[in-house]
Amino acid sequence: MEHRNPAPAEIARQRPPDDPRLDLVAGSVDLPGGPIRYVHPRDAAALLYEEDVAADQSYPPYWAEVWPSGVELARAVSGQDWQGVPALELGCGLGLPSVAVALAGARVLATDRSADALAFAAVNAEQNGARIETAVCSWDDADALVSRGPFRLVLAADVLYGQRNIDELTALLPRLLTADGVVWIADPDRPLTGDFLAATRAGWQSVETTPTQVPEVHLHRLTGPPRVTASG
């Protein structure tokens, strides 16, 4: 039987798949270390909320969008020498920073509470020839993640929204980092970011904020974590 690839016009006429996670859009971003290609669901709003039965909560599928902070964090780490550095990404979504830092030599663990996000991060790494590990992890239940550390580099993009996120990350970040490690957080000046930074400045040795190519997105670098006490 003859097999031929469908013409572009035929593809455009095809019905999208029933599962919106499989209705994909491809994109790419030019970074200092070279371009990164990625795929993501076409319509994040069509995806189901994620159910957290234990916490009796559900969350919007924020992981499925390409957020400017994720792109800017990928840009910031790209092209630098991270050879052999143990790195962790929290709330990785589609995983662009993880891919960029892995291509720059880091040993990367990409994490998110959404298993779907991690499937996309893994595919995005693979299509760029990057090696990353992935693990499901919620910040309120992170003992297993802490035991895989400490990490010299912790990355997070656009995670400083909601008081619960702020509280959980404030408690968790010092537990994840080596004494000489650094946290890089890219953030689009969310309403609670100022509170987070104020609390962080009080406990950490230094917090340095620099602009990115996107005016509202800033990069915050935290070093010198406060000592973790037995109570957390």
Whose Cβ is closer to ligand SAM: residue 67's or residue 82's? 67
Q: Least separation, in Å, of the C-beta of 223 and ligand SAM? A: 21
CB of 97 to ligand SAM, least distance (A): 7
CA distances from 118 to 5, 38, 89, 175 (A): 30, 13, 11, 22
Residues linked to residue 24 through DSSP beta bridges, in sequence order:
41
CA distance 15 to 17: 6
Q: What are phi and psi of 172, to 5 degrees?
A: -80, -40
Name residue, tokens 């499901």: 136
- Least Å distance, CB 91 to ligand SAM, is 3
Nearer to ligand SAM, 91 or 181 (CB): 91
Nearer of residues 112 and 132 to ligand SAM, judged by Cβ: 112
Q: What angle do CA 74, 206, 91 make, to 5 degrees?
A: 35
**Residue among 112 and 196 whose Cβ is closer to ligand SAM:** 112
Nearest alpha-carbon partner for 157 in 224, 82, 97, 75: 97
CB of 30 to ligand SAM, least distance (A): 17
Q: Which is nearer to ligand SAM, 24 or 224 (CB)?
A: 24
Q: How far is the CB of 142 from ligand SAM (least distance, A)?
A: 8
Assign 16 to helix, strand or coil: coil
Place of tokens 């599928």: 61
Instruction: Report the interface residues with ligand SAM, using CB under 6 A.
Output: 62-63, 67, 69-70, 91-94, 112-114, 117, 138-139, 157-159, 165, 168
